[in-house]
Chains A and B, each alone.
Chain A
């Protein structure tokens, strides 16, 4: 009996499993945002980096980056001064709405692939007031600037607002934020944005760029924090990242002292 008990105790210790280690693998990261009606020029290819380490790029001689469009293959080239960023050197790939654009990466024995269909351009983008007089007191008044478009099919839209002219100075010289020269607009299936006036810090001319995006972009952007996420919804097979075609329209408006 004593031997039996001893055996049990020993087995508990001797069989205790060791901690396992995970090593980084060479997972290919494909990030590409292709704009409808424009040449392909922003395809980024890298390898998964170790935690808190800079990006790992692949030597261009070891990788083939190919765009497929309208049943043709187009070899993409790395920008000479921007490692990991690929473009269409002959500007031949210019997707139109409804076109399927795919990107395939051949690296070592891996084939990484993703595809996206170019959405329709936004229609009927307009603003009732394109010159908006305001002063510092208006900032907390609850006034909103409407931006409208047509969206009967409830497609996904997102956008950003960018200060495009030289600033005419801060609206409230005692309280302004340099970051407010550019701010994003949330993803929506509505037909309007109502932009709070207190989002603006500067007088000047702004561009509102409205993007019609696919669901793959929406899925990727679901992490609320925006700038950091764990795990992701990726549309890249055998790799990670985001490859998406989108369409955009731009409208300008002006904030002037009122």
Chain B
């Protein structure tokens, strides 16, 4: 750990030492001595060492070789000497220096006969209303494919653009802004006006854009500001909204975990302000764990992601939290039939901002009809199972449930180029199941407590050193813990004698991820950008199971894993020509828990604009994952999902992605089509039969290792006009698994296999009304059913009836479909803007099936031979039916 931290620290030192100090004015004591170097190198040195802004033609400057040796000279003296005999001259103004060709009769002129100047533009993009800086905005040279993106702190640099050109700055959910390069004299701060802000101010029509497809393969941006307009199940839900995109399954209603391109949710890297989130949902998956009031930006990488990201084998969801309103105090208060929520953003002077957001379910106090509906749906996995304790069945247990989460962020800007932030997230779910009965002198009770949740903190320092260098250092710690305690007690008390017996079964699983990360972005010119960094990561998991009776501990098993992972990456973006963008990267890992512990992950990608409207894209990459989530499908048995580290016996997952597609954008239409193939090896899975059959009737070897293959095509058509945005998504996919020892060692459809999924989303804004509707259709999911039975005699005279499973996942559930609608109305109440409305989930009450469960019941026949027959019964576990919800939200 120490050596890894040292390496990360060294990298930081390198970054610091490579970047010069910045002064306010051009100095007159310049000392520089170089011989036979390019003019470009000299100018770069001047800019970096003396904080100068110099605009010049890089290509030309690289062709000119110069020498200079001056001490304590003024900038004029330096430029006069260095530009002598180069055919170049310079022009100074208050903002900087422009180097240009000396006027010649046959010089390069524009249409007006004026020389064309090329300049580099550095700037920062922010939200006009809140002052928040906007990450990953698109800056493009109008009418061309040339452009750049802002980084995570909103900074961008675009090199060598003609001063006659115009830049278009575009960010999802904001009005685009056009800026003439010739008008730019200094570092730009570009304030974009949010569309929702416009709505609040003057209630006019506006273009809403909820989804933006980026030029690199697999990359989508989702607008968190539009989530509020989509139908919901009580809580405005970011992840459930993401499920409306093609390639992300929308049919698993009781899990907001994202099944992306046929892979299990644990294969996704979910980042919030840089720390990984292990538990992404509340209420057994009904709601996602993220409060939309605290979210600024959501980047989704469905596959083929570049070397900046690692540690997972399927996809990445990178969420940037809000820093808080820098201009004025703002607040939100809201409620629905499940929970209430609130957020407040406070600027503290010019340099500090604070954001605090929280949600809490009040279901432990007020149990609305919606709550009853949801909790019954969650628990119906096994309410028909015969599990009993102290004579109580699962149906007898009364649930009491609540959840909460808190987001807090403190941001500090010590200078215009520095950002310091501290981000905290804490969320927890708590389920209590209890039952009690009294018969004469006998009192029995059950009191089970299940608690699980995620806590994460990150401390980040970012700095834009100059137009070419940006760096960030982050210390992030994330912890997921689930803890269950199953307590039962029986007491006999007749007033004379008193006897009691109690037992408690405890299960605790904890996974901790602590990372020190350094990321550096270097953009030396308009063609090349490099992002590189290192991370030292400590992972720890523990698993404790304990059984005690009275005060004696009968069994206590503890399992600990500690691992250290060091990773380094280098990601290159290169534009040999303006229309072509090439990505090449490499990620390297060492992990101390595994022998042969060095792993390399090469990544490649490209995007090519054939015309401004039509572009091709592709990506390829290898990926590793060192943590595995083991899924338990039985909510009531007190054994929640748990995580294990790869340690040689528990394997590390490995995957390879191939992605190719194209994008066509014209007017306000966009069509995006991507084909993909994903091979994942060494998949650790719970025996895929566990969902369908009582665990006690299955063989004990329930962990299996195998591989999975997914392939498919995602179609996305988006349309945005005045007042309206909508999209159609369609996924054609196939996911299959191969596990040795299962299904005669033949491939079988994976649990996530769904051949067709079609979804359509529509949002309409009519003055004060926001209306939306979504419809999802998905073809059948597979499930496993016994297909035969036989009887085997045993030594004890009790024959065993075996219900034989000849093929895994050979059966299919009925097709899935549902429609959701939402209507919200915004009005003013004093200083507050109030939005209230109705959302209806599963409007036409479609009875979708979650899975089919089987139970076998032995019975005695009349001829006196005991238990030589059994009957198999099955029942369908249904998903949510018609579920209305009302909501209200006050915004200051």
- Give bound CA distance, A49 to B802, whole Å: 10
Interface 9-mer from B23-31, B66-74, B807-815:
B807-815
User: A15–B787 contact, CB under 8 A?
Assistant: no
User: B795–A226 contact, CB under 8 A?
Assistant: no
User: B758–A4 contact, CB under 8 A?
Assistant: no
B699 in complex: contacting residue of A23, A226, A231, CB < 8 Å: A231
- Give bound CA distance, A231 to B780, whole Å: 24
Cβ-based interface call for B788 (8 A) = yes
User: A229–B698 contact, CB under 8 A?
Assistant: yes
Q: Which residues of chain A are within 8 angstroms of B732 by Cβ–Cβ distance? A: 11, 15
User: A227–B858 contact, CB under 8 A?
Assistant: yes
Most central of A55, A226, A229, A232 by chain B CB within 10 Å: A229
Minimal beta-carbon separation of B256 from chain A (angstroms): 24
Cβ-based interface call for A9 (8 A) = yes
- Give bound CA distance, A174 to B756, whole Å: 64
Residues 41 to 71 of chain A near chain B (Cβ within 8 Å): 42, 44, 46, 48-53, 55
User: B798–A31 contact, CB under 8 A?
Assistant: no
Interface string of B805-835 (1 = CB under 8 A from A): 1110011101100000000000000000000
Most central of A46, A209, A220, A231 by chain B CB within 10 Å: A231
User: B697–A223 contact, CB under 8 A?
Assistant: yes
Q: Which residues of chain A are within 8 angstroms of B867 by Cβ–Cβ distance? A: 227
Minimal beta-carbon separation of A150 from chain B (angstroms): 20
User: B717–A158 contact, CB under 8 A?
Assistant: no
Q: Which residues of chain A are within 8 angstroms of B758 by Cβ–Cβ distance? A: 8-9, 12-13
Interface string of B680-694 (1 = CB under 8 A from A): 000000000100011
Q: Which residues of chain B are within 8 angstroms of A33 by Cβ–Cβ distance? A: 793-795
Known contacts A8-B728, A22-B785; is-contact A229 B715 (Cβ 8 Å): no
- Give bound CA distance, A56 to B756, whole Å: 40
- Give bound CA distance, A173 to B788, whole Å: 44
Q: Which residues of chain A are within 8 angstroms of B814 by Cβ–Cβ distance? A: 19
- Give bound CA distance, A241 to B793, whole Å: 10
User: A12–B756 contact, CB under 8 A?
Assistant: yes
User: B790–A240 contact, CB under 8 A?
Assistant: yes
Residues 184 to 211 of chain A near chain B (Cβ within 8 Å): 184, 209, 211
Q: Which residues of chain B are within 8 angstroms of A8 by Cβ–Cβ distance? A: 715, 717, 728, 730, 758
Cβ-based interface call for A224 (8 A) = yes
A228 in complex: contacting residue of B669, B671, B779, B800, CB < 8 Å: B800
Interface string of B564-590 (1 = CB under 8 A from A): 000000000000000000000000000
- Give bound CA distance, A211 to B803, whole Å: 27
Number of A residues, CB within 8 Å of B: 59
User: A241–B792 contact, CB under 8 A?
Assistant: yes
User: B699–A222 contact, CB under 8 A?
Assistant: yes
Q: Which residues of chain B are within 8 angstroms of A211 by Cβ–Cβ distance? A: 795
A52 in complex: contacting residue of B797, B799, B871, CB < 8 Å: B871
- Give bound CA distance, A257 to B878, whole Å: 58
**Residue of A whose beta carbon sits closest to that of B692:** A230
Q: Which residues of chain B are within 8 angstroms of A130 by Cβ–Cβ distance? A: none
- Give bound CA distance, A27 to B807, whole Å: 13
Known contacts A22-B807, A42-B793, A241-B792; is-contact A16 B669 (Cβ 8 Å): no
User: B815–A16 contact, CB under 8 A?
Assistant: yes
User: B689–A231 contact, CB under 8 A?
Assistant: yes
Cβ-based interface call for B777 (8 A) = yes
Known contacts A31-B793, A225-B697; is-contact A230 B802 (Cβ 8 Å): yes
Q: Which residues of chain A are within 8 angstroms of B796 by Cβ–Cβ distance? A: 158, 160, 182-184
User: A51–B697 contact, CB under 8 A?
Assistant: no
User: A224–B696 contact, CB under 8 A?
Assistant: yes
- Give bound CA distance, A56 to B502, whole Å: 49
Minimal beta-carbon separation of A11 from chain B (angstroms): 7
A46 in complex: contacting residue of B756, B790, B806, B807, CB < 8 Å: B790
Interface residues on B, range: 35 or more
- Give bound CA distance, A56 to B779, whole Å: 36
User: A179–B693 contact, CB under 8 A?
Assistant: no
Known contacts A160-B797, A231-B805, A232-B802; is-contact A242 B811 (Cβ 8 Å): no
Interface string of B766-779 (1 = CB under 8 A from A): 00000000000101
Known contacts A12-B758, A232-B699; is-contact A48 B789 (Cβ 8 Å): yes
- Give bound CA distance, A211 to B796, whole Å: 10
User: A230–B805 contact, CB under 8 A?
Assistant: yes
Residues 224 to 257 of chain A near chain B (Cβ within 8 Å): 224-233, 240-242, 246
User: A19–B802 contact, CB under 8 A?
Assistant: no
Minimal beta-carbon separation of B453 from chain A (angstroms): 32
Minimal beta-carbon separation of B689 from chain A (angstroms): 6
Q: Which residues of chain A are within 8 angstroms of B598 by Cβ–Cβ distance? A: none
User: B788–A16 contact, CB under 8 A?
Assistant: no
Q: Which residues of chain A are within 8 angstroms of B811 by Cβ–Cβ distance? A: 19-20, 22
User: A228–B856 contact, CB under 8 A?
Assistant: yes
Minimal beta-carbon separation of A49 from chain B (angstroms): 5
Minimal beta-carbon separation of B249 from chain A (angstroms): 15
User: A160–B756 contact, CB under 8 A?
Assistant: no
Cβ-based interface call for B854 (8 A) = yes
Minimal beta-carbon separation of B823 from chain A (angstroms): 25
Q: Which residues of chain B are within 8 angstroms of A227 by Cβ–Cβ distance? A: 798-801, 858, 867, 870
Q: Which residues of chain A are within 8 angstroms of B795 by Cβ–Cβ distance? A: 33, 158, 160, 184, 209, 211, 213, 217, 246
- Give bound CA distance, A52 to B786, whole Å: 11
Minimal beta-carbon separation of A97 from chain B (angstroms): 18
B696 in complex: contacting residue of A51, A158, A179, A225, CB < 8 Å: A225
Known contacts A48-B804, A160-B797, A227-B798; is-contact A29 B697 (Cβ 8 Å): no
Q: Which residues of chain A are within 8 angstroms of B788 by Cβ–Cβ distance? A: 24-25, 27, 48-51
Q: Which residues of chain B are within 8 angstroms of A223 by Cβ–Cβ distance? A: 696-699, 800
Q: Which residues of chain B are within 8 angstroms of A49 by Cβ–Cβ distance? A: 788-790
Q: Which residues of chain A are within 8 angstroms of B800 by Cβ–Cβ distance? A: 220-221, 223, 226-229, 232
**Residue of B whose beta carbon sits closest to that of A54:** B869
**Residue of B whose beta carbon sits closest to that of A25:** B806
Most central of A17, A24, A42, A246 by chain B CB within 10 Å: A17
Q: Which residues of chain B are within 8 angstroms of A44 by Cβ–Cβ distance? A: 793
User: A231–B793 contact, CB under 8 A?
Assistant: no
- Give bound CA distance, A231 to B700, whole Å: 11
Cβ-based interface call for B791 (8 A) = yes
Most central of B717, B755, B789, B854 by chain A CB within 10 Å: B789
Q: Which residues of chain B are within 8 angstroms of A22 by Cβ–Cβ distance? A: 785, 787, 806-807, 810-811
**Residue of A whose beta carbon sits closest to that of B759:** A12
Residues 711 to 747 of chain B near chain A (Cβ within 8 Å): 715, 717, 728, 730, 732
- Give bound CA distance, A52 to B814, whole Å: 24
**Residue of A whose beta carbon sits closest to that of B715:** A8
Cβ-based interface call for B188 (8 A) = no
Q: Which residues of chain B are within 8 angstroms of A154 by Cβ–Cβ distance? A: none
Cβ-based interface call for B610 (8 A) = no
User: A230–B812 contact, CB under 8 A?
Assistant: no
Minimal beta-carbon separation of A155 from chain B (angstroms): 15
User: B799–A51 contact, CB under 8 A?
Assistant: no
Known contacts A8-B715, A17-B779; is-contact A241 B790 (Cβ 8 Å): yes
> Which chain A residues have a beta carbon within 8 Å of chain B's beta carbons?
1, 4-5, 8-9, 11-13, 15-17, 19-20, 22-25, 27, 29, 31, 33, 42, 44, 46, 48-53, 55, 158, 160, 179, 182-184, 209, 211, 213, 217, 220-233, 240-242, 246
Q: Closest 3 CB pairs between A and B?
A: A184-B796, A48-B788, A12-B758
Knowing that A15-B756, A227-B799 are A-B contacts, what are 16 other residue pairs whose CB atoms are under 8 Å apart, sorted by A's residue number?
Answer: A1-B669, A20-B812, A33-B793, A42-B793, A51-B788, A184-B796, A223-B697, A228-B857, A228-B858, A228-B870, A229-B800, A230-B698, A230-B802, A230-B854, A231-B699, A232-B800
Task: Write 14 A-B pairs (CB below 8 A) sorted by A numbering.
Answer: A8-B717, A17-B755, A22-B810, A31-B793, A48-B804, A160-B795, A221-B794, A222-B700, A227-B799, A229-B800, A230-B698, A231-B698, A231-B804, A231-B805
> Which chain B residues have a beta carbon within 8 Å of chain A's beta carbons?
669, 671, 689, 693-694, 696-700, 715, 717, 728, 730, 732, 755-756, 758, 777, 779-780, 785-807, 810-812, 814-815, 854, 856-858, 866-867, 870-872
